[in-house]
Amino acid sequence: MIAACRLCPRNCGVPRGERGEGRCGQGERVHIARADLHFWEEPPISGEKGSGAVFFTGCPLGCVFCQNGTISHGGYGGKELTPQQLSDVFFSLVERGAHNINLVTPTHFVPQIRQALLWRKLPVPVVYNTSGYERVETLRSLEGLVDIYLPDYKYDDPALAQALSQAADYPAVARAAIGEMVRQVGAPVYGEDGMMKRGVLIRHLVLPGHTRNSLACLQRIQQEFPGIPVSLMAQYTPCGSLEDFPELQRPLTAREQAKVEDALFDLGLEGFTQERRAKGTRYIPDWNL
Closest-CA residue to 224 (of 91, 126, 132): 132
- Rounded Cα–Cα distance for residues 214 and 190 (Å): 27
3-state secondary structure at position 154: coil
What phi and psi, each to the nearest 5 degrees, are found at residue 172?
-70, -40
CA distance 89 to 188: 26
Tell me if 66 is assigned to a ligand binding site.
Answer: yes
Cβ contact 233:203 at 8 Å:
yes
Evaluate whether 83 touches 115 at the Cβ level (below 8 Å). Answer: yes
Give the residue from 168, 27, 37, 47 showing the smallest Cα distance to 93: 37
Whether residue 12 is annotated as binding a ligand: the answer is no
Q: Give the type of residue at 167.
A: A
Phi–psi pair at 209, nearest 5 degrees: 85, 0
Give dist(CA 164, CA 224) in Å, integer. Answer: 24
- Tell me if residue 210 falls in helix, strand or coil: coil
**Residue 34 DSSP symbol:** E
Amino acid residing at 94: V
197: enclosing H helix or E strand: strand 196-200
- Residues tagged in the binding site annotation: 59, 63, 66
- Residues tagged in the binding site annotation for [4Fe-4S] cluster: 59, 63, 66
